[in-house]
Structure 1
């Protein structure tokens, strides 16, 4: 595996990330691999990268991976997430394992996991007004005192019906372990080509989560009469305020986030550990 240029993205608020980033840069210099460091405190609008890269280290937690995936997804380069706390659902590699994982991958002995991402395109009065991308999910929900959101969902033009709920979660398989799971949605193997629709506290027992093939478009249309302010949140990190009557079309992106897998633990082992099985 030829790796000539790497980028290290690290969340400075996570303890130990600066130290590990410095270690990575020193080791890359030793291996004669060009290494750029990008540390951040808040959520910058972009990841600054001065030239093309072949590989990305991400230091932090799952939130840091979500941020990095949104910033870098168009590059489709392998990302090695390194967890700086407890093992996350995405960050399977611990801080003590980063060098072994990198060298094993470089020697062609580690597989990658290709994850679909979700795109949320907002239309107002028939006009496209914004386009947002996330690795985990897009959530339409109340941002006001009253929690009830009224909306309709259709898949490729076929109606799933009208909903009165606290909102709706449109999740990727990667995001199925997040908010969707807490709202009663199922787990999905992270490399599956599917999107998950999970109503949030629906006011009807017949409105249940549904798994949709990844190649289909899901349209959420807000009723024109609402009693609350409504927002669209991407990966729990980016918020966009909606208006009554807005339409949000969810689909998968053509690009995928490429995650380097751990050879120490599988997705099923992480699920068992995190969910207390």
Structure 2
């Protein structure tokens, strides 16, 4: 399959659900092009090369998310739990493999993949993570605490985020920015790494494509170089 923008790549991953996804060839016809390294002007040449089998693949991890009382989703970027229009802080109980981790009191929580680390996670102060690092990012949104720092969990754990029974307000959950769902007191979202990553075709290789994206798309660490000795 081929995609024509970052949003199209997300949509393509969504329609396959929690099952195998064919290799995606992403062309940059969007506004940012962080996930789309190929120039659409070279589409015929690229697709011919792909059909011959001579191309590197990057496996992008996805998250399998299940609202206990409702349905399931698979995300490429992130699942976000927030307070919506409520004026009250979130009060989310977070567990890792059944062990209590912390309460999230603030505007909400982002649980992201390494691919999603450069999306909402980055804006909320989370770390950028190479897409081939097997981990689950745990980033609070505007926490009401000076000591609440983002975490990265190993990819084999199961996270559970629960709205406590005494919650003052309804919470909201969204999946790659879509399918917004209400979470009432007692509801929980279980999040784990999907067994089915998304294979995307690389222009050069996984690392060169990713570093090119963070430099050119996000202008990461752009600074005039310090003059050398004697200059």
TM-score range, shorter chain: 0.7 to 0.9
Moved more, 253-262 or 155-164: 155-164
d(CA) in 2 for partners of 1:101 and 1:147?
A: 51
Give the Cα–Cα distance (whole angstroms) in 1 for the partners of residues 42 and 179 of structure 2: 31
- What is the aligned counterpart of 2:96 among 155, 158, 174? 155
1:222 aligned onto 2:167: no
Distance 1:162 1:65 in 2: 33
**Alignment match, 1:272:** 215
**Where in structure 2 are the equivalents of 1:71-110 lying within 5 Å?**
71-73=15-17, 74-110=19-55
Question: TM-score, normalized by length of structure 2?
Answer: 0.88
Choose the corresponding residue for 2:58, options 113, 118, 139: 113
Match of 1:64 in 2: 8
For residue 220 of structure 1, report the CA deviation from its aligned partner. 0.7
1:183 and 1:201 in contact (8 A); partners too: yes
Flag the structure with more relative contact order, 1 or 2, with Cα contacts below 8 A and sequence separation at least 6.
2
- Report matched runs for 1:96-245 at 5 Å: 96-123=41-68, 128-146=69-87, 148-245=89-186
Q: How many residues align?
A: 217
Distance 1:273 1:193 in 2: 24
Ranges in structure 1 where 5+ consecutive residues have no aligned partner: 1-55
Give the deviation of 1:149 after TM superposition. Answer: 0.7
CA deviations 1:98-132 (Å, max 9, x no partner) are 22222222233211111111111112xxxx42211
Helix, strand or coil at the partner of 1:169:
strand
How far the C-alpha of 1:226 sits from its partner, in A, is: 3.0
Partners of 2:39 and 2:87 in 1: how far apart?
42
- The gaps in structure 2 that reach 5 residues or longer are 223-231
Shift of 1:87: 4.5
CA 163–250 in structure 1, closer or farther in 2 if over 3 Å, else same? same
Instruction: Note the alpha carbon deviations across 1:122-153, whole angstroms, 9 max, x for none.
Output: 12xxxx42211111110001122315110111
Q: What TM-score do the two structures reach when normalised by structure 1?
A: 0.74
The answer to which structure has the higher strand fraction is 1
> Could you tell me how far apart the structure 1 residues matched to 2:45 and 2:204 are?
10
**Cα shift readout 1:36-78 (whole Å, capped 9, x = no counterpart):** xxxxxxxxxxxxxxxxxxxx0122x211111110112524210
Contact 1:87-1:93 within 8 A present in 2 as well: no
User: Equivalents in 1 of 2:31, 2:49: separation in Å?
Assistant: 22
